[in-house]
Chain A
Amino acid sequence: MTDMTEITDKKKRYSAGVLKYKQMGYWVPDYVPKETDTICLFRITPQEGVDPEEAAAAVAGESSTATWTVVWTDRLTACDSYRAKAYRVDPVPNNPGQYFAYVAYDLILFEEGSIANMTASLIGNVFSFKPLKAARLEDIRIPVAYIKTFKGPPTGLVVERERLDKFGRPLLGATTKPKLGLSARNYGRVIYEGLKGGLDFMKDDENINSQPFMHWRDRFLYVMDGVNKASAATGEVKGSYLNVTAGTMEAMYERSEFAKELGSVVVMVDLVIGWTAIQSMAEWCRKNDMIMHMHRAGHGTYTRQKNHGVSFRVIAKWLRLAGCDHLHTGTAVGKLEGDPMTVQGYYNVCRDSYTKTDLPRGLFFDMDWADTKKVMPVASGGIHAGQMHQLIDLFGDDVILQFGGGTIGHPQGIQAGAVANRVALECMVKARNEGKNILEEGPDILRKAAATCGPLKAALDTWGDISFNYQSTDSSDYAATPTTA
């Protein structure tokens, strides 16, 4: 049997040929991570017969310096410090064949202020590596030393609230529906009705860019007329996320400039534009006093399945550093995937000053955010006024609750839908502050408010019983019992 320990004799170590990753020095069980190290937790599923420690060493190797064979040119470098080090492997509870592998990376490995560079290492080749059936980046501890090289959110949730003059309650939004096909004139009508009815924000959908039925300039012009008219009608600051996502950076900048010229407080991009484009847009937003809304379009392709991909908590950490002000982080009770505690973990990552280890919420590391601005999480997708008590109980005040269908599909019209949501929100915040147990008394509180608010009554009558109770695919392996909404 091959000796699987690190080969320390330099001559043997660097003679041409193929070695095990453990022998090359990527498995260091007594390694104590430094304060300045990045630590990654991978969930790995080795192929049959592959030793888990060797698999962990391979992950460390393939996400840092290794190639498949020994190269003498390693000896021209201080290669010990460039090698990532796998230092701990634990079996995943109740998942035979899966292991949690901890890998530490030296600060020198990542270019300052570049998520693109960090991700090229951490989720590069390693995810296609044959000896692993599957791999998932579960969580990451990014050190203060690296965090301080990022500017983070262009605005941050504290300054956003000050700009909008909205405090002490979740913000309310809605996505304009139908997603596709409305002309700009009809689209602006939905914006105006929703905002005048009591919402703070309206939103373009992720796939509204500039299609044949609605040119982007037309949309911006009509939307901003709706926004300003609603602002005058209510005396409140209002906004609508103008989606500037486009095929090139040049086109995105052009659209953003026009949004600014028209006085919009916010622009929006989709996650699919990529890390570098996100950081560039954040830079533009910082320069132009703009809130940046991030729709996480596409994330489900790699975040949802537990055995392979990247957890959304890692994506959220990267996005907070790369810089966005709003981030869709799930609803727990709505139509889209999301175990409630796991989703709360994402919210913590967006809003914490210091993230605490919390295994049932999927948080494996303590992480000091070093005063990085906070991201406003967005709960959007299949939620309605009848769930207000659950939403406020789960997420607190610093969140944007977006009721698209739950506003626009209201039987008495869009304004009525907005009124129902705003009244439900305000009565629930008031009740919570008065010390009521809103989880228990929530339905009663809503019914009482509905007695003097026809639109809320109609909303509860229409949707009061709708829920989406499906088992989540992505829940913590440390949860006492799997949670459903």
Chain B
Amino acid sequence: MMTNPTGRVTQGQFSFLPDLTDAEITAQIQYGLSKGYAWSVEYTDDPHPRNTYWEMWGMPMFDLEDAAGVLMEMNACRQAFPRHYIRLMAFDSTRGVETITMSFIVNRPPNEEGFMLERQEVNGRSIRYTVRGYGANRPEGERY
């Protein structure tokens, strides 16, 4: 278990709050849809802070305007990968934004092992740091 105050990976908008219920997730999806964002579902078993590209659960749902549809995709992903990290992301294609505008974790492994910090002493007192997931040496799909 991780030693930070939440005991878990704190990425995303709502990691410090109790897990969102499906009803609460729906409210967030609805908010994004009302702003014209496109939702997508992504999953991984490598939540390294610089692992940018989680696996895509299908394409971003550009034309989906019904929160229930997004929730359905999310739950299908949860069913397929119950022990993976899963996040919902909203995308805004407005000129000058063209990036993710919401992102929060909706599924986690039962036990979050977290990361170790490797220190390599180099010149003088300088240190090179590497953050490594405890499960990173296991093959993809078997880390949690």
Partners in one complex: yes
- Which residues of A are at the interface with B, using a C-beta cutoff of 8 A? 158, 161-162, 165, 167-169, 196-198, 221, 224-225, 228-229, 231-237, 261-263, 353, 371, 374, 397, 415-416, 418-419, 422-423, 426-427, 429-430, 433-435, 449, 452, 455
Whether the Cβ atoms of B13 and A234 lie closer than 8 Å is no
Counting chain B CB atoms within 10 Å of each CB, the highest count among A162, A228, A229, A261 belongs to A228
**Complex: how many Å from CA A225 to CA B15?**
24
Q: Provided the pairs A162-B100, A167-B101, A225-B127 are in contact, do residues A234 and B9 lie with their beta carbons within 8 angstroms?
A: yes
Contact with A along B2-44 (1 / 0, CB 8 A): 1111100111011111101000100110010000000000000
- Closest chain A residue, CB of each to CB of B17: A426
Is B93's CB within 8 Å of the partner chain A? no
**Complex: how many Å from CA A434 to CA B28?**
6
* In the complex, the 8 A-B pairs of residues with the closest C-beta atoms, listed nearest first: A235-B9, A168-B102, A232-B117, A433-B31, A228-B129, A232-B115, A353-B96, A167-B103
Q: Provided the pairs A162-B99, A167-B102, A261-B126 are in contact, do residues A234 and B10 lie with their beta carbons within 8 angstroms?
A: yes
- Closest chain B residue, CB of each to CB of A228: B129
Quick check: which of B45-53, B57-65, B136-144 contacts chain A, the rest being far away?
A: B45-53
Whether the Cβ atoms of A237 and B50 lie closer than 8 Å is yes
Taking CB atoms, residues of chain B closer than 8 Å to A371 are 95-96
Taking CB atoms, residues of chain A closer than 8 Å to B15 are 426
Whether the Cβ atoms of B16 and A426 lie closer than 8 Å is yes
Please list 9 pairs of residues, one from A and one from B, whose beta carbons are closer than 8 Å in the complex, sorted by A's number.
Answer: A165-B103, A167-B102, A198-B16, A232-B114, A232-B115, A426-B14, A426-B15, A430-B14, A434-B31
**Complex: how many Å from CA A374 to CA B24?**
32
Is B81's CB within 8 Å of the partner chain A? no
Whether the Cβ atoms of B5 and A197 lie closer than 8 Å is yes
**Complex: how many Å from CA A44 to CA B16?**
52
Taking CB atoms, residues of chain B closer than 8 Å to A229 are 117
- B residues 47-106 near A (Cβ < 8 Å) are 47-50, 52, 89-90, 95-104
- Closest chain B residue, CB of each to CB of A197: B5
Shortest A165–chain B CB gap in Å is: 7
**Complex: how many Å from CA A434 to CA B29?**
10
Neighbour of B131 across the interface among A225, A231, A261, A435, CB < 8 A: A231
Whether the Cβ atoms of B5 and A168 lie closer than 8 Å is no
Shortest B115–chain A CB gap in Å is: 4
Shortest A195–chain B CB gap in Å is: 9
Shortest A479–chain B CB gap in Å is: 29
**Complex: how many Å from CA A415 to CA B129?**
23
Shortest A454–chain B CB gap in Å is: 10
Counting chain A CB atoms within 10 Å of each CB, the highest count among B6, B96, B117 belongs to B96
Taking CB atoms, residues of chain B closer than 8 Å to A415 are 5
Taking CB atoms, residues of chain B closer than 8 Å to A263 are 128-129
